[in-house]
Chain A
Amino acid sequence: MTNLLEIEKVSKSFGQVKANDEISLEVAPGEIVALLGENGAGKSTLVKSVFGLVKPDSGVIRINGKVIEPGDTASAIANGIGMVHQHFQLVPVMSVTENLILGDEPRKLGVIQMKEARNAAKAISERYGLDVDPDAIIEDLPVGMAQRVEILKALRRDVKLLILDEPTAVLTPQETDELLDVLRNLAKRGVGILFITHKLREVMAVADRVVVLRNGKLVGTTSPKQSGEAQLAQMMVGREVVLRVEKSQAKPAAPALKVTDLQVLDDRKLEAVRGLSLEVRSGEILGVAGVEGNGQRELVEAICGMRNRVGGTVFIEGVELPNLSPRAAHDAGISHIPEDREKHGLVSSYSIADNLILNTFDKAPFAKGWIRNHDAIAKNGITLVASYDIRTPSPNLPASSLSGGNKQKTVVARELSQNKKVVVAAQPTRGVDVGSIEFIHNQLIAARDKGSAILLVSAELDEVLSLSDRIAVIYGGKIVATFDSKSADRAEIGRLMAGSNA
């Protein structure tokens, strides 16, 4: 079989760091190749080199035997390479068709042929089984659909090789499954696919071949048939990874967090949490399982004082929390690992040390009265960077210099090191590499064993299943069932998550 894509000894350095070190790989037509690796392993750099967004220092990239001009996206596109970026490049207020033709509009005498474009869009969408409405406005579409528009954009240009940069990071489990179907479909029609991920399950499900990168080097090529999840994980991080979380029996004590009849509105002023009640005891982890968008975000934000409660109460050890005060929630004993670390969890231009005291900056020892104590802040930074394995040359560097996993470890370090009565962990391992996931899970267990009550909210059902002592299923803004994790049945939880009462 002739190769569609050939990467030969591509290297790229940023300053002192070798992002790619003589990497070679091939993709055949109709083949799905997964590029696997931890955050910072060099996956993005490699695919950006292929697409011409990054100019490699050395090495050759060929498409169908033809060498591509390095660092030139136009050459990459002309040779049939398409890329779906992690952050969508769509205009939210425009329709699907308008987005598709943007920059390459079919024109007659200067007039855009919208009807023609619309029909063409519909035709490609149908040909590849993508099922996208050409008249829909992008901002009305769910994330999974918007991503399909991105894929369509690439297909429209008659792409031979499709690159996807962490396509599933933003998708719900259902959307992920649908995307994997789409990828299989494309491959069947001869499109070569190179996709980045660090989720092993997707790799096992869809990839023909797996290429593993670590610290900028290619550590191995294998296939799901040859290697199991455990072996892939080991290749990624270079050591044994415990995929099942090892934890001792919980010793739950008195209830620490109690939520009764909570009602919360979402951003569109629609009721997202509808009379929800739950209770978490000290020393246990209550996992909330559910498809995203069933009120989890609103639940977490209302407990932590960041969103208005229109009804119901939140108690910490029997004391009622005031509404809309993150400060009061914090002072009452809640730690909050927020769902979106870039938006809420970190100030990326601040140093790691300053981020580690972001919500304790005015408390002793980090401030004496009105004056900040730089020594204490620096010392705390050094201690936490070491004990939470935050990989950085110095805590004085800006948080923006960290990889996703290390950013998340910074947030986790700040929140868990405070030893609060209650920990609310929202999507604590989203977009984080396997090594960091394992570390964060162990830290959550350790916090539980020290007596914190932990409310875990996660879109990853596996995470909820393996970490929780009790599992609550959320659907339509209510808890529809609660299980002891030992008696929990994956299939039944799945049904309840989907809204079935059986």
Chain B
Amino acid sequence: MKRLPLSGVLIPLLSVLVAMFFGGIMIAVQGINPLYTYEVLFETAFLSFDGISVTLAKATPLILSGLAVAICLRAGLFNIGAQGQLISGALASAWAGYYFVGLPTLIHIPLALLFGATFGALVAFIAGALKAYRGVHEVITTIMLNSMVIAIADYLASTPFKEPDQPLTRTPAIQDSARIPDIFGLPFGFFIAIAFSIALWWLLRNTTTGFRIETIGRNRNAGWYAGISVKRVTILSMLVGGSIAGIAGAIETLSITGRFEPAFNAGLGFDGITVALLGRGNPLGVIPAAILIGGMRASGSTVQFKTGVSPEIVDLLLALILFFVTAPLLARLLKRRHENVAITSGWSN
């Protein structure tokens, strides 16, 4: 069912509004004015240049991890493993960032990004290959890979790649030549993420590879009939998703954290799932979804400071959004209205 553009925007918008309504009740229960809270949230995140800059920095990895989930959704795969792929990419790029010394920036940054993409893709490949050749469900494998990657990254950051002579589990800081700068006070990584969104949107629409991915996602039997290799497209989609998640981790490392430390990247990949679903699996829809969630993440502590609301409210709002955007009831209610407009005779079925 090709969704009308209206419902593509309406459902996410409604789910955010409904989430804010229920979140508002939770805020009111704490004895705080929810409207004031939302006002502070909005002001902090979007109404000043500094606020926007922080929001966009927070949104950057979310756009990319959202894309990593979205591209797999298009192929009919639910990539829960963006978190693991992202951590793998973050660690690989951190290593490339500190290990290579004396490279020019124009080589060092792309090289570190490539490391991130490769190692993100590697993790996703395992799940893709198991799905294609053994029929193992990707939700199971990606969840398990998340745990494995987190454990392995912990070990690597605490032993072979550990920064010497200090107690923390972390790698050394990356070289200055690997640092992604801000431009005009805005995070450069954000523009990379936007470029990826547009590129993926274009690829899905205009290339034969995009058509293969979409076809498999919508009806894999018909794809097989049409001569598309379901196995190859499954693996390819996971590879693309994994490499983008890896780049998300790499950009985070190279522009924000400056090194790999296990706790730094917590939850970015999981927020990607919310972003992808809120963006209806559309590579362009992911951008506003990520900015919204990035803004909420960015303003969380200020909101707490100014209004006294407990900081978990942001997590609660995100959970509510995820809940309502996936709530089948809401979707069905809206869909039913449109379905009746089928043209020749859809009603015989």
B344 A367 Cβ-Cβ under 8 A: no
With contacts A44-B347, A392-B344 taken as known, whether A326 is within 8 angstroms of B224 at the C-beta atoms is yes
B344 A403 Cβ-Cβ under 8 A: yes
Contacts of A358 in B (CB 8 A): 215, 222, 225-226
Task: Please measure, in the bound complex, the distance between the C-alpha atom of A40 and the C-alpha atom of B345, giving whole angstroms.
Answer: 5
**Minimum CB distance partner of B229 in chain A:** A327
A349 B1 Cβ-Cβ under 8 A: yes
How many pairs of residues, A versus B, come closer than 8 Å at their CB atoms?
117
Contacts of B205 in A (CB 8 A): 372
Task: Please measure, in the bound complex, the distance between the C-alpha atom of A44 and the C-alpha atom of B139, giving whole angstroms.
Answer: 39
Interface string of B1-45 (1 = CB under 8 A from A): 110000000000000000000000000000000000000000000
A351 B207 Cβ-Cβ under 8 A: no
CB of B160 within 8 Å of the partner chain? no
**Count of A residues near B, CB < 8 Å?**
49
Interface string of B316-349 (1 = CB under 8 A from A): 0000000000000000000000001111111111
A336 B1 Cβ-Cβ under 8 A: no
A14 B208 Cβ-Cβ under 8 A: no
**Minimum CB distance partner of B227 in chain A:** A327
With contacts A40-B348, A45-B347 taken as known, whether A400 is within 8 angstroms of B222 at the C-beta atoms is no
CB < 8 Å: which of A325, A354, A393 contacts B343?
A: A393
**Minimum CB distance partner of A330 in chain B:** B227
With contacts A14-B340, A40-B348 taken as known, whether A345 is within 8 angstroms of B225 at the C-beta atoms is yes
CB of A362 within 8 Å of the partner chain? yes
With contacts A326-B224, A359-B225 taken as known, whether A372 is within 8 angstroms of B343 at the C-beta atoms is no
CB < 8 Å: which of B340, B341, B344 contacts A391?
A: B344
Task: Please measure, in the bound complex, the distance between the C-alpha atom of A358 and the C-alpha atom of B206, giving whole angstroms.
Answer: 15
Task: Please measure, in the bound complex, the distance between the C-alpha atom of A169 and the C-alpha atom of B223, giving whole angstroms.
Answer: 26
B343 A347 Cβ-Cβ under 8 A: no
A362 B218 Cβ-Cβ under 8 A: no
Contact residues, B218-235 vs A (CB, 8 A)? 218-219, 221-229
CB of A254 within 8 Å of the partner chain? no
CB of B141 within 8 Å of the partner chain? no
Task: Please measure, in the bound complex, the distance between the C-alpha atom of A44 and the C-alpha atom of B349, giving whole angstroms.
Answer: 8
Contacts of B229 in A (CB 8 A): 327
Contacts of B206 in A (CB 8 A): 371-372, 374
Interface string of A382-426 (1 = CB under 8 A from B): 000000000111000110111110100000000000000000000
B221 A350 Cβ-Cβ under 8 A: no
Contact residues, A123-174 vs B (CB, 8 A)? none
CB of B201 within 8 Å of the partner chain? no
With contacts A15-B340, A393-B343 taken as known, whether A398 is within 8 angstroms of B225 at the C-beta atoms is no
CB of B78 within 8 Å of the partner chain? no
Contacts of A338 in B (CB 8 A): 225
Task: Please measure, in the bound complex, the distance between the C-alpha atom of A359 and the C-alpha atom of B228, giving whole angstroms.
Answer: 8
With contacts A393-B343, A400-B342 taken as known, whether A370 is within 8 angstroms of B208 at the C-beta atoms is yes
- Chain B nearest Cβ from A342, distance in angstroms: 9
A326 B227 Cβ-Cβ under 8 A: yes
B208 A372 Cβ-Cβ under 8 A: yes
Contacts of A1 in B (CB 8 A): none
* Best-buried of A345, A391, A403 by chain B (most CB within 10 Å): A403
**Minimum CB distance partner of B226 in chain A:** A359
CB of B301 within 8 Å of the partner chain? no
- Chain B nearest Cβ from A281, distance in angstroms: 26
* Best-buried of B209, B210, B221 by chain A (most CB within 10 Å): B221
**Minimum CB distance partner of A374 in chain B:** B206
- Chain A nearest Cβ from B322, distance in angstroms: 24
Contacts of B227 in A (CB 8 A): 325-327, 330, 359
CB < 8 Å: which of A15, A327, A392, A403 contacts B348?
A: A403
- Chain A nearest Cβ from B143, distance in angstroms: 28
Interface string of A293-332 (1 = CB under 8 A from B): 0000000000000100000000000000000011100100
A347 B224 Cβ-Cβ under 8 A: no
**Minimum CB distance partner of A366 in chain B:** B208
Task: Please measure, in the bound complex, the distance between the C-alpha atom of A19 and the C-alpha atom of B343, giving whole angstroms.
Answer: 11
Task: Please measure, in the bound complex, the distance between the C-alpha atom of A401 and the C-alpha atom of B207, giving whole angstroms.
Answer: 25
CB of B211 within 8 Å of the partner chain? yes
Contacts of A351 in B (CB 8 A): 2
With contacts A361-B208, A400-B1 taken as known, whether A39 is within 8 angstroms of B345 at the C-beta atoms is yes
Contacts of A397 in B (CB 8 A): 343
A14 B342 Cβ-Cβ under 8 A: yes
A406 B344 Cβ-Cβ under 8 A: yes
**Minimum CB distance partner of B205 in chain A:** A372
- Chain B nearest Cβ from A188, distance in angstroms: 30
* Best-buried of A326, A336, A367 by chain B (most CB within 10 Å): A326
Task: Please measure, in the bound complex, the distance between the C-alpha atom of A21 and the C-alpha atom of B344, giving whole angstroms.
Answer: 16
A402 B222 Cβ-Cβ under 8 A: no
CB of A346 within 8 Å of the partner chain? yes
Contacts of B347 in A (CB 8 A): 14, 19, 44-45, 54
B341 A347 Cβ-Cβ under 8 A: no
Contacts of B2 in A (CB 8 A): 349-351, 398
A14 B341 Cβ-Cβ under 8 A: yes
Task: Please measure, in the bound complex, the distance between the C-alpha atom of A330 and the C-alpha atom of B215, giving whole angstroms.
Answer: 18
Contacts of A54 in B (CB 8 A): 347
Contact residues, B140-156 vs A (CB, 8 A)? none
A343 B209 Cβ-Cβ under 8 A: no
- Chain A nearest Cβ from B280, distance in angstroms: 13
Task: Please measure, in the bound complex, the distance between the C-alpha atom of A460 and the C-alpha atom of B227, giving whole angstroms.
Answer: 29
CB of A348 within 8 Å of the partner chain? yes
- Chain A nearest Cβ from B255, distance in angstroms: 32
CB of A209 within 8 Å of the partner chain? no
Contact residues, B250-286 vs A (CB, 8 A)? none
CB < 8 Å: which of B215, B340, B346, B348 contacts A43?
A: B348
Known: A40-B344, A45-B348, A397-B343. 19 other contacts (CB 8 A): A14-B342, A17-B345, A19-B347, A39-B345, A44-B347, A306-B225, A326-B224, A343-B222, A344-B224, A347-B222, A349-B218, A350-B2, A361-B226, A362-B208, A372-B207, A374-B206, A392-B343, A400-B1, A404-B348
10 A-B contacts (beta carbon < 8 Å):
A326-B224, A344-B221, A347-B219, A350-B2, A358-B225, A361-B211, A371-B207, A400-B342, A401-B346, A403-B348
Binding site for A on B (CB under 8 A): 1-2, 205-211, 214-215, 218-219, 221-229, 340-349
